Amino acid sequence: MTGVGGGSLMTPLLILLFGIHPATAVGTDLLYAAATKTGGSLVHGLARSIHWPAVLRLASGSIPASILTLIVLWQLDSGAARSLINVVLAVALILTATSLIFRKTLLEAFRERLERLADRTIARATIVVGIVLGVLVSISSVGAGAIGVTALLMLYPRLPMARIVGSDIAHAVPLTLVAGIGHWAMGAIDWQLMGVLLAGSLPGIILGSYCATRVPETALRLLLAATLLLVAGKLGSEEWRKALPEIAASTQDSSLQGVSIQGASTQGASTQVREH
């Protein structure tokens, strides 16, 4: 119905509503996205609505960044990985909601300045965007949709919207596939869950396509953005509640250590006075 939302909502809903481990939710969503976006990429490719230079630039930044991010995740224990995924997911959802609400404002504010950029500068900026997307998507499975489209609209304002969307989908296929395979290697894929999601997506596509022309797009985007912000707030508040006892314990330990050092210093000074 909106062109975005599935990738943004899938992982947090699996975590919050169904209690699935964040790593499993991210890995399953990544391979699910790789499967579903492959069909869209083929359609855009046949329609010649893909700007391949932008896709290659994004991929040259996102694929290496994804591999390095997966190596870091591999080194973390389960608890640390869970916290990292939840925090990055909350940030990615906030960025996605912001891009949905303020996309037109951002484009109007930076369009004239970005149109004067040299081709080499645009190429470098596209690679940097790819790096950011590679990190976000590999950790949270969120970011390749609304954030990627907004960045491409800002960097390539002369391209028609169809080529922007086609390029974003084409780039998402190798990125989600590489990241999904990485999570698979870490054992974070639920194949039964993925099959159920794919089975449910087919009637969802039919129903969404039917409703898309009958519901105002602006209202849908605002509703989706509000939902993403609520989910991000829920994830962030949970991680904050988990961190509070550790922060309090760390602060208490520091205070006790400071008192002990001060007491030892006072006792040493008293001893020196008595000896004198």
Could you give the angle at the alpha carbon of 72 between the alpha carbons of 71 and 77, nearest 5°?
110
Question: What is residue 213's three-state secondary structure?
Answer: coil
| Tokens of residue 120, six digits | 């080499």
Question: Are the CB atoms for 16 and 235 separated by under 8 Å?
Answer: yes
CA-to-CA distance for 84 and 89, rounded, in angstroms? 8
Distances (CA, A) of 75 to 134, 135, 190: 18, 16, 21
CA-to-CA distance for 53 and 64, rounded, in angstroms? 17
Q: What is the pLDDT of residue 253?
A: 62
Q: Where are the domains of the chain?
A: 6-237
Q: What is the pLDDT of residue 62?
A: 95
Q: What is the pLDDT of residue 244?
A: 73
Q: What is the pLDDT of residue 17?
A: 85
Q: Tell me which residue of 257, 256, 264, 260 sits closest to 272, measured CA to CA.
A: 264
Tokens 């939840």 correspond to 86
CA-to-CA distance for 197 and 29, rounded, in angstroms? 9
Q: What is the pLDDT of residue 274?
A: 56
CA-to-CA distance for 99 and 57, rounded, in angstroms? 21
> Would you write out the chain's pLDDT as a tens digit for each of its 276 residues?
655 666 678 888 888 888 888 889 999 999 988 888 888 888 888 888 899 999 999 999 999 999 999 999 998 888 888 888 888 888 888 888 888 888 888 878 777 777 778 889 999 999 999 999 999 999 988 877 778 888 888 899 888 888 888 899 899 999 999 999 999 998 889 999 999 988 888 787 777 767 766 777 677 777 788 888 888 888 888 778 877 776 666 666 666 665 555 555 555 555 555 555
